[in-house]
């Protein structure tokens, strides 16, 4: 009975480890979804950066065209020349500010992505450690089930890596108790017949 109690306690600890593993797996899946979302945001920010670079190239080309046009004019007025340059400079500064803002957002998103990746690796390591602890508990409980077909010593399959259950542990504990009681009754009967 004491062995059965220890075995039930080990089964309860194993069940708690399984619950912890399931919780870590859920957290890892949530983190993976977050990583996918961050990757999408990074791609969007990169698209914005590319668009800003295209706009800068377009403004530069327009500036060159205006400079060429100003060179072909016979007598451009100073006011028109200054006004054109002022518009171009204002537009270039606006585009530069937008590009810097997009670059900052992209850097922040990449930082979050790296942090999420590190967190996912840590969760995966903790889940692996929890599984190793569960295997160690099963190996510790294996001598209690000497001769049984089911238990920690049973083969594991890819679809069912842990075919052990709390209900099976209770049933085996009952069967072990019944076998002990049967042996006690048979020994009493043999002693009575011998006398």
User: Residue 141 and residue 7: Cα distance in Å, rounded?
Assistant: 6
- Quick: pLDDT tens for 63-72: 888 777 766 6
**What CATH code is carried by the domain that includes residue 33?**
1.10.287
Q: What average pLDDT does the structure give for the chain?
A: 71
Residue 8 lies in a domain: yes
- Whether 188 is in a domain gets the answer no
Q: Is residue 193 part of a domain?
A: no
Phi, psi torsion values for 31, nearest 5 degrees = -65, -35
Phi then psi for residue 106, to 5 deg, are -65, -40
- Give the per-residue pLDDT at 180: 46
What percentage of the chain carries pLDDT values higher than 90?
Answer: 0
Number of structural domains, the chain? 1
Q: Is the pLDDT of residue 79 over 70?
A: yes
Q: What is the DSSP string of 139-163?
A: HHHGGGGTT-SSSTTSPP-SS-S--
Residue 23 included in any domain: yes
Residue 23 sits at φ, ψ, to 5 deg, of: -65, -40
pLDDT tens digits along 91-145: 888 888 888 888 888 888 888 888 888 888 888 888 888 887 777 777 666 554 4
Let me know if residue 139 belongs to a domain.
yes
Read off the pTM. 0.36
Domain membership of residue 189 (yes or no) is no
Domain limits at 118?
A: 2-145+162-183
């Amino acid at each position: 009975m004491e062995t059965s109690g220890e075995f039930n306690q080990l089964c309860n600890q194993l069940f708690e480890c399984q619950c912890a593993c399931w919780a870590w797996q859920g957290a890892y899946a949530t983190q993976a979804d977050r990583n996918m979302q961050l990757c999408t945001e990074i791609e969007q920010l990169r698209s914005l950066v590319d668009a800003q670079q295209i706009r800068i190239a377009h403004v530069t080309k327009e500036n060159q065209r205006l400079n060429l046009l100003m060179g072909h004019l016979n007598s451009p007025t100073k006011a028109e020349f200054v006004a054109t340059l002022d518009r171009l400079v204002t537009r270039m500064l606006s585009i530069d500010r937008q590009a810097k803002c997009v670059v900052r957002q992209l850097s922040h998103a990449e930082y979050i992505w790296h942090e999420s990746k590190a967190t996912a690796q840590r969760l995966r390591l903790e889940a692996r450690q929890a599984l190793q602890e569960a295997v160690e508990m099963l190996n510790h409980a294996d001598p209690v089930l000497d001769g049984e077909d089911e238990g920690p010593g049973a083969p594991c399959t890819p679809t069912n890596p842990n075919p052990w259950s709390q209900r099976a542990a209770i049933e085996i504990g009952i069967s072990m108790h019944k076998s002990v009681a049967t042996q006690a009754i048979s020994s009493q009967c043999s002693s009575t017949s011998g006398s």
